Amino acid sequence: DSGVTQTPKHLITATGQRVTLRCSPRSGDLSVYWYQQSLDQGLQFLIQYYNGEERAKGNILERFSAQQFPDLHSELNLSSLELGDSALYFCASSVASTGGNSPLHFGNGTRLTVT
Amino acid sequence: SQQGEEDPQALSIQEGENATMNCSYKTSINNLQWYRQNSGRGLVHLILIRSNEREKHSGRLRVTLDTSKKSSSLLITASRAADTASYFCATIQGAQKLVFGQGTRLTINP
């Protein structure tokens, strides 16, 4: 058990809809990362927060947004969903502010299916 | 584009044999990490190797790093069925983005 909790585990929704994915980091970790994993694109870095502040940004679409709250949990909001957004969305957490300096602890992901 | 690229994309060996996976990257790094992912599950951290280290061991895992060739290898000795998984290397790209390669799918046959 990594200590990172992601909810929900599965989500099925229609095109055009909006969903929110939630992540609680491991106790003591200040950094939260979001990744998208699809069969054809591999594991894509979306965004990282450290102690409530955006730290690094990857290939995150404008339709997607995220935030980290004072209690350090994070939410990833996906709007105007398209079929291509169907993927596994992972949250990870770490102690360090920079992703490469300490191990990331991954949750088990939210599987999003857009129909 | 991905910073790290694993090779081979897929590897199938017999239980008890050794498995070697390689990772090449493009820009200078401070650290390189290896992760394992069982099907549909979250990634699990295996080893972090720093740029001033050439080799690191953890149980049956051995990681090497050659910064002159911008490459790393992960060796799993005496493989077991439970080692069946995908293996990824991860490095920092650009401004602090930790990016993963496409992974090597390892299958251990009984």
> Model confidence over A9-27: pLDDT tens digits?
999 999 999 999 999 999 9
Bridge partners of B75? B20, B62
CA nearest neighbour of A93 among A10, A8, A22, A23: A23
C-alpha–C-alpha distance, residues B6 and A38, integer Å: 17
What are B32-49's pLDDT values in tens digits? Answer: 999 999 988 999 999 999
What is the pLDDT averaged over residues B21-25?
A: 94
Q: Do B90 and A100 touch (CB under 8 A)?
A: yes
Given this model, what pLDDT does residue B95 score? 62
* Least confident stretch, A56-65, A93-102, B50-59: A93-102
What is the pLDDT averaged over residues A90-101?
A: 87
C-alpha–C-alpha distance, residues A103 and B8, integer Å: 24
Residues of chain B contacting residue A99, judged by C-beta atoms under 8 Å apart = 90, 92, 96-98
Residues of chain A contacting residue B41, judged by C-beta atoms under 8 Å apart = 108-109
Which of A6, A53, A95, A101 is best to mutate for the B interface (most B CBs within 10 A)?
A: A101
Distances (CA, A) of A110 to A11, B28, B47, B65: 7, 33, 25, 33
C-alpha–C-alpha distance, residues B46 and B8, integer Å: 19
DSSP 3-state assignment of A26? coil
C-alpha–C-alpha distance, residues B11 and A43, integer Å: 19
Which of B43, B44, B97 minimises the CB distance to A45? B97
User: Could you give the dihedral angle defined by the CA atoms of residues A11, B97, A105 and A83, in that order, rounded to the nearest 10 degrees?
Assistant: 10
Given this model, what pLDDT does residue A98 score? 79
User: Residues in chain B whose beta carbon is closer than 8 A to a beta carbon of chain A?
Assistant: 2, 29-31, 33, 35, 40-45, 48, 88, 90-92, 95-103
